[in-house]
Structure 1
Amino acid sequence: MEGVTEPVLVPRRFPVGLAVTWAFAGVVAIAIGIFVAPADRFGWFAVGAGAALLVAFAAELRLGRAEGFISRVAAAAVGGVGIMGVVSAIFALAAIVPG
C-alpha cells in the first residue's frame, strides 16, 4: 500500500539536548572571557569546547532515544563549539579596540 504512513506515536519534543549544550557553551565561554587572562584564553576555550562535547553526549544519553542520536549529538556539539567561537571572537575584538 503506497501512500500509507506510520503514525507518530510520540510527538516531537523540543530539542532539550541542543538547548542545554548551547546554553552551557555560552555560559562557559562568557565566564572564560571574563575571568581568564587574555593570554590564557585560547587554551581555556579549547577546554570549554571539550566540556561542551561531553555535555552534548550526556544530554542526549539522558533523553534515551536511539533514533537520530548521532545527528543530535553532532548538532549539539557543533553548535556549542560555534557559540564558543563567536564569543571568543567578540572578546578578541574587544581586546583589540582601544578604550
Structure 2
Amino acid sequence: MSTPDLAPRRTFGGIVAVWVLAAVAGVLIGLLVPPHWRAQWISVALGGCLIVSFAVQLWYGRSQAFIQRMAVSSLGAAVVLGLITAVFALAAVVSG
C-alpha cells in the first residue's frame, strides 16, 4: 500500500516548459537555418523536446498519469513546431 502525496508537485508547469522550449527552438531554426535544411532541424528539435519531456516527467517522481503527461507534452511540442513551420513556409511562399 502506498502513501498519498501530501503536497504533490504541479505537473502542468513541466508540460508548458517543453512547449516553450519547442517554440524557442522552432523560431531559432526558422530564423537561422537555410530553408532547405529546416525540415531536418525541426525533426531534431522534436526529438530533443521528447527527451526533455521525458526527463522533466521523471524528475517529478510521480508514476500516476505518467503516460498521459508524456503524451500531452510531446504532442503539444509537435503541434507548436508544426505551427511555426507552417508560418515560416507561408512566409517563404509569400515572399517569393
* TM-score (norm: length of structure 1): 0.86
Partner in structure 2 of residue 53 of structure 1:
50
Match of 2:60 among 39, 63, 78: 63
1:13-36 CA-partner distances (Å, limit 9, x unpaired) = 251221111011000000000000
Check the 8 A contact 1:18/1:72 in 2, yes or no. yes
Match of 1:37 among 34, 38, 48: 34
When Rg is computed on C-alpha atoms for both structures, the one with the higher figure is: 1
Unaligned runs of 5+ in 2: none
Partner in structure 1 of residue 69 of structure 2:
72
Percent of residue pairs bearing the same amino acid type: 41
Bigger proportion of residues as helix: 2
Unaligned runs of 5+ in 1: 1-6
* CA distance in 2 between partners of 1:91 and 1:27 (Å): 14
Partner in structure 1 of residue 79 of structure 2:
82
Three-state SS of the structure 2 residue aligned to 1:97 is helix
Deviation at 1:98, TM superposition (A): 2.5
* CA distance in 2 between partners of 1:98 and 1:37 (Å): 15
* TM-score (norm: length of structure 2): 0.88
